[in-house]
Amino acid sequence: MNAVIFGSIRRTVTVIKVATAAVVVFALTACGGGGTTPVTNVTTTAGGLRPLSVDFISRKAVNYSPFRTSLKNEDRVNEVITDAQVLQDLTLLQTAGFGMVRVFNSDEKVAQRVLRVIQDNGLDLKVYLGMWMAGNSDFDNKKEMAFGVALANSFPNIVAAVSVGNESLVSWSDHKIQPSELAQNIATVRSQIKQPVTTDDNWLFYAKESDRAVFDVIDFAAVHTYSMVDTHFLPDKWDWKQLSVTNLQQRAAAMMDAAMASTKADYQAARSSLDSKGFSAMPIVIGETGWMAVNPSNKWYTFLAHPVNQKMYLDRLMAWAAEGKAGAGPKNVFYFEAFDEPWKGDDNGWGLFNVAREARCSAQSLKPSATWLKEAGSCNQANAIFFQPPQLNSAVTDAKLIIHSEAVTGWPPGMRADAFDGGTFVSDYPAVGDSASGDLGASLPTSNFIRLRNFTPRDYGWGLLWQSVDVPVVSSNMSNFAGGSVNFSIKTSYAGKLRIGLSSDTELGRVVEANVLVAPGDSFGYCSNSPAVWCDVRIPLSAFKAANPDLDLRFILTRLSVADIYSETGNTARTGLPEIRLDNIFWAR
């Protein structure tokens, strides 16, 4: 996917070592990366295409990257990857029946190591070799091409095909390159190796944004399709909710059938585009497609991401792949991906194996007789998840929803307070001896308030939220408060802004947040003084709706959050933060 970025791993290449022999890398030339001697005696079809080998078509294929410990993209340059780790990975993939792996770029750290491990250990594996194109960074691209050409020519019996560029043409690419420039790079590489050459890109490019300059220089089309991702960015592209299937025991299977139909439709759109431009003889492979087993922290796939659903998608995908090898359809399908990679953050969780190399349901199903180290959990199809609309509870009819006041001792029934990340400050509740004038008890010495102190913020900041005690969290129908406000009193000398937020479920089951920044002297009544004094803050619900129109008052989850998220507030202080006192917290109609 487009999150797979290798631009940080670059070096000037002069020599690579293959086993005990030294292989000189072709020098860079003014006309482009790679060698200077064109290849000859290359077999082509009548139309000039280099045919895909029997090995390339017949072998079960998967996308592979070995990163295990990196937690951020920038960590990968320092992660140590060993031959033993790669051998373990490749052995697991062979056990699952895979005979070919795709790697995303041409470098020493991953690509050369994978090829060397295959050769030195006599593994019956082929490699679909990528060359990462770093946008319009011509210098980096030429280095990548030089190394890739050297690898393809040094391991001719292992490298079955080459791909120049990964999702670098589609309109939403974050490393976009002009089609004419990429076409020139592809042609340069192709002139110096014997393998079939292509570029991997999203189906949208091949189907709707295509450029003939690229088609003229490739031997096959490598198409990416993610019906799962489409449910977030294009929620109406296919019917993933399957509400017409009223038998809930059948809805998950119906959803996975529809997902496979969407995948096939993307392929057919690319096929029709190629045919209409005179490339009906050009074969198509699916370079990437997959299904997440773990719902990411952004909760995009609450009703989709599950190990059993991943297995159901893989089952359908492998059946289609078998059809394509034998006749109409893609000539191969590269599953995305082999192993989880934590550095990808919310784009992690696609692996057939988790990062601990435990086999998920999908991997286990590929060879049930194998002795797998298995991920915990049942693989029974009855555990598959599917869309269920959020429950609409009765609307709150009280004039106020009180979170804290002198009239409430302890949080309101069914509600709890949680610090972000389990605790980034000390919370005193109730603290005694101070109170906002609007919430003063019988006497000041006995009045209750909330005190936040001894802040130890994370890199991103800190926060506190109020939500239901239930797991999963139960929503509150606050639709009667649409014209009302969220109110609280605050006393602090905290410098800068604070972020006040709400969150809700939606009809699509997607949690959304709406956040408003408050600053001293603003129209909401917020203040920060030294010495600190109480002030009353009132934020209309309309301000939260303006911040995020998708906020649905019928399904409120977070009743209130108070936070300092540095990327949003711009605050710079990290230590010595003054205490914050809160009181008289409520929603008003």
pLDDT > 70? residue 418: yes
Buried-state track 538-560, b at ≥16 Cβ within 10 A, e below 16: ebbbebbbebbeebbbbbbbbbb
Stretch 114-131: mean pLDDT, rounded?
Answer: 98
Asked whether the beta carbons of 169 and 201 are under 8 A apart, the reply is yes
Stretch 182-201: mean pLDDT: 98
Cis amide bond preceding 337, omega within 30? yes
Cis amide linkage into residue 472, ω under 30° from 0: yes
The share of the chain scoring above pLDDT 70, in percent, equals: 93
Distances (CA, A) of 159 to 128, 154, 179, 429, 506: 6, 9, 25, 64, 48
* Nearest one of 193, 218, 190, 188 to 32, comparing CA atoms: 188
Q: Give me the pLDDT at residue 12, please.
A: 26
CB-CB contact of 202 with 171 (8 Å): no
- To the question of domain 15-37+67-383 being in CATH 3.30.830.10, the answer is no
The CA distance from 150 to 26, in Å, is: 7
More confident site: 86 or 11: 86
pLDDT surpasses 90 at 114: yes
- Residues 164 and 183: beta-carbon distance below 8 Å: no
Tell me the pLDDT tens digit for each residue of 455-470. Answer: 999 999 999 999 988 8
Which tokens belong to 386? Answer: 């599917």
Other Cβ atoms within 10 Å of 122 Cβ, number = 7
Host H or E run for residue 325: helix 307-326
pLDDT at residue 31 is higher than 50: no
pLDDT for residue 34 is more than 50 = no
3-class secondary-structure state, position 525: coil
Judge whether residue 19 has pLDDT over 60. Answer: no
Which residues, at least 6 apart from 208, have a Cβ–Cβ distance to it below 8 Å? 269, 273
Instruction: Between 319 and 298, name the one with better pLDDT.
Output: 319
pTM: 0.79
The predicted structure's pLDDT at residue 37: 58
- Which are the contacts of 285, defined by CB distance < 8 A and separation ≥ 6? 52, 220, 221, 222, 223, 330, 331, 332, 333, 334
CA dihedral 313, 317, 320, 321 (to 10 degrees): -170
In angstroms, the CA 160 to CA 110 distance is 17
Residue 409: pLDDT band (50, 70, 90) is low
pLDDT for res 211: 86
Across the range 105-125, mean pLDDT stands at 98
C-alpha–C-alpha distance, residues 407 and 427, integer Å: 20
Q: Which CATH superfamily is domain 400-588 in?
A: Galactose-binding lectin (2.60.120.430)
CB-based contact 142:28 (threshold 8 Å): yes
Does the pLDDT of residue 445 top 60, yes or no?
A: yes
* Per-residue model confidence (pLDDT) at position 1: 65
Could you list the beta-strand ranges (E) of 25-97: 60-63
Q: Quote the pLDDT of residue 422.
A: 75
HEC per residue, 56-69: HHHCEEEECCCCCC
Q: Give tens-digit pLDDT for 258-304.
A: 999 999 999 999 999 999 999 999 999 999 999 999 999 888 999 99
| Domain locations along the chain | 15-37+67-383, 400-588
Q: How far apart are CA 215 and CA 183, in angstroms?
A: 8
Over residues 152-158, the mean pLDDT reads 98
Across the chain, mean pLDDT equals 91
pLDDT of residue 299: 86
Q: 438, 420 in Cβ contact below 8 A?
A: no
Q: Number of C-alpha atoms within 13 angstroms, CB side, residue 572?
A: 0
Q: Per-residue pLDDT tens for 470-493? A: 877 889 999 999 999 999 999 999
pLDDT of residue 16 exceeding 60: no
Please report the pLDDT score of residue 413 as a whole number. 78
Q: How would DSSP label each residue in 91-144?
A: HHHHHTTEEEEEESS--IIIIIHHHHHHHHTT---EEEEEE---TT-HHHHHHH
372 pLDDT above the threshold of 80: yes
pLDDT of residue 406: 83
Contact 444, 433 (CB under 8 A): yes
Instruction: Name the token pair of 10.
Output: 């670059």
